[in-house]
Structure 1
Amino acid sequence: MQIKNIFDHSSPPPTGERFEPLHSQPGLTIERIISSPRIAHTEYSQPQDEWVLLLQGEAKLDVAGETIALQSGDYLFIPALTPHTVLEVSDGAIWLAVHIGGGYSVNAQLQTKKILVQFSVGALRSISVLYAAYMEMQMNFDTLHQQATPLLLCNVWDAASAQAAQRANYQAIGTSSAAIAAMLGYPDGEALTFAELCYIVDRMIAACDLPLTVDIEAGYSRNPAQIAEHILALAARGVVGINLEDSIVSDQRHLLSIDEFCANLSQIRRILQLKNCSLFINIRTDTFLLGKKQALQETIQRGLAYQAAGADGLFVPCISSAADIAAITAAVSLPLNVMCMPELPDFATLQALGVKRISMGNFVFAQAQQQLSHLFSQINSTQSFTQVFENAHCG
């Protein structure tokens, strides 16, 4: 991504305003604006939500009847179709305007604000555009699957657990669909709605700076085009990867055929490519989870097929045998993701076996809930809060 010095001086034209596009993609456009006092009392109304950052100069705006004074480094959010007028502006003022649309504007505000806030005026002397910041996070997440040491992914379920992962110095976080479902009182298996999932994702992104990958189970649809739209909605929020599984839950969980799932995956990947969306697609195959008789052979067969259909990684939950893991890494070149299990080898052994990603699933959440239940029981049985403060780490 080319770095632009957005402080380069360029005199405003006689009309008093110069617009210089920096980046454009569906749902996100970024431009630099150089203005002069000649534009005073010009009224605007954008069809998209807009973040405006004043990089240099001073200005005074009327936004829906409210007068707002801005100095260098100040920014504000202007909702779509909100009338706003420039009342005063210094000569040669430089703005960065970020327009967000595509149906995901309300939630994309959080990620946009977070990236803008990270830059002080001094740091803005030479920055890439907002999209470059997201792409850097995306590329870093992809690279984490190619390092010698496996990526230890911290599975989280809310903003607090995401923040705990960041304090513990994890490199990335991923949602646990089972943990989120349990937290909201649902059974596992797409019982919660996609809108509810998006709300949890928004809170995580607002609270934590780590790259986030989201478990979308079977996609919250049986239509590949709709699944692709769900993925695009997550990407617009700043999500860098997703998990998509090859089984669905009706009365019972069952595997889709290889041909059907590959056809769906290929269509999803094509749609994402048309939208310039390249987030990491980690495909979960449930051969071991469902106890298939020829689980190892079928896993290899599915892994090779999924790679050809556009997968970036292969997730095999419930595998624990070192011999089985070695056989898969030898046969399938996709980064292999294994999950916390009682018999899973230690991390050094997994690295030697060629594993590239280790996740926790629902087990850490379940253990935390057991400890919470035990604490609640002790408070009730002892009629005292003593247990709350024994071995507590406060502050």
Structure 2
Amino acid sequence: MTALADLHHADEPLLLPNAWDHASAAALAAAGFRAIGTTSLGVAAAAGVPDGASAIRDETLRLALALGTEPFLLSVDAESGFSDDPEEVAEFARELAAVGAVGINLEDGLGPVTRHAAKIAAVKSAVPGLFVNARTDTYWTGDGDRRETLARLDTYQQAGADGVFVPGLTDPAEITTLVRHLDVPLNILYSPTGPSVAHLTDLGVRRVSLGSLLYRRSLGAALEMLADIRVGRPPHGTVPTYADVQAFGGSNPAGQSETGCTAS
């Protein structure tokens, strides 16, 4: 069993925060998180393209290259693998593993079950040690049909998935049904309006992802601060110092701005 797999079987479920760049990942690691995922929405938004459009293969690989040697376990959100060809998805998985990623998240986007299963099987054949978290979108973009969800998850388990992910599912009874049915760990996307992490733990969930929540909150916090400044209110919230952020990057001399001037 790999180190990432071990975290799915610890006393507490794996709470997985999702980063969108090197600084956000470094900040999360400094906060004590042993494993960190990436968020495709954050990567896509930074590149100015839609999420889920298979447009950020290169950006995703570059981010994995930047994070793969850092002292935390890295799981990469690879959308649907950036291809419908299982062998091309497997090749991308090889590239991710080569730069240090230990996990990959693959979503079915409600495409054909057999195609997604083939991608999972191809990845596990190419990189057996890579933790494959197989996502179904039955509750995310579908109608939340339990029978279809179970059928898809069964197929993905049989294809070799190490864990399964059902974003959009928040009903405790439905979560319990899945936990009892599955042979692999269930991953649920945390929702501020859904069950707490403690409640999800009691339900048997083994991985709780934050997805794009931190990225979206960071944008919201920036806009809130700007609104305060605009009307003359003292801004609220935690603001890392210039030196703090420099430390996350580690590339420029401390105290020097991009123009070479001392930062205030």
What TM-score results when the alignment is normalised by the length of structure 2?
Answer: 0.84
Superposition pairs for residues 132-171 of structure 1, below 5 Å?
139-171=2-34
Match of 2:103 in 1: 241
Alignment of 1:263 onto 2:113: no
**Which ranges in structure 2 are unaligned for 5 or more consecutive residues?**
245-264
Secondary structure at the residue paired with 2:217? helix
Superposition pairs for residues 1-395 of structure 1, below 5 Å?
139-206=2-69, 208-247=70-109, 255-272=110-127, 277-292=128-143, 294=145, 296-382=146-232, 387=235, 392=239, 394=241
Contact 1:284–1:316 (8 Å) recurs in 2: yes
| CA displacement 1:158-191 (0-9 Å, x = unmatched) | 1111111111111210001011111222221135
> In the aligned structure 2, how far is the partner of 1:391 from the partner of 1:236?
36
Residue identity in the other structure for 1:378: D
| CA displacement 1:239-269 (0-9 Å, x = unmatched) | 000000111xxxxxxx122233223332333
The change in CA–CA distance for 1:188 and 1:391 in structure 2 (over 3 A counts) is closer
* Stretch deviating more after TM superposition (341-350 or 227-236): 341-350
Secondary structure at the residue paired with 1:291? coil
Aligned-pair CA distance for 1:380: 4.1
> In the aligned structure 2, how far is the partner of 1:293 from the partner of 1:350?
19
Could you list the structure 1 runs, at least 4 aligned residues long, displaced by more than 6 angstroms after superposition.
none
Secondary structure at the residue paired with 2:134? strand
Residue identity in the other structure for 2:125: R
The structure with more strand, counted as a fraction of residues:
1
The structure with more helix, counted as a fraction of residues:
2
**Which ranges in structure 1 are unaligned for 5 or more consecutive residues?**
1-137, 248-254
The change in CA–CA distance for 1:221 and 1:391 in structure 2 (over 3 A counts) is closer
Secondary structure at the residue paired with 1:214? strand
Secondary structure at the residue paired with 1:187? coil
Secondary structure at the residue paired with 2:150? helix
> In the aligned structure 1, how far is the partner of 2:208 from the partner of 2:43?
19
Secondary structure at the residue paired with 1:387? coil
Match of 1:120 in 2: none
Contact 1:181–1:191 (8 Å) recurs in 2: no
| CA displacement 1:282-306 (0-9 Å, x = unmatched) | 0000000123252x22111111111
> In the aligned structure 1, how far is the partner of 2:223 from the partner of 2:64?
26
Contact 2:25–2:36 (8 Å) recurs in 1: yes
Aligned-pair CA distance for 1:371: 0.8
Contact 1:212–1:240 (8 Å) recurs in 2: yes
> In the aligned structure 2, how far is the partner of 1:203 from the partner of 1:322?
37
> In the aligned structure 1, how far is the partner of 2:63 from the partner of 2:149?
32
> In the aligned structure 2, how far is the partner of 1:176 from the partner of 1:288?
18
What TM-score results when the alignment is normalised by the length of structure 1?
Answer: 0.58
Paired residues, number: 242
> In the aligned structure 2, how far is the partner of 1:216 from the partner of 1:329?
24
Residue identity in the other structure for 1:338: I
> In the aligned structure 1, how far is the partner of 2:10 from the partner of 2:185?
10
> In the aligned structure 2, how far is the partner of 1:158 from the partner of 1:363?
14
Match of 1:77 in 2: none
Secondary structure at the residue paired with 1:314? strand
Residue identity in the other structure for 2:143: K
Secondary structure at the residue paired with 2:18? strand
- How much identity, in percent, do the aligned residues show? 35
The change in CA–CA distance for 1:229 and 1:391 in structure 2 (over 3 A counts) is closer
Aligned-residue RMSD, C-alpha: 2.1
Aligned-pair CA distance for 1:194: 1.4
Aligned-pair CA distance for 1:372: 0.6
Residue identity in the other structure for 2:8: H
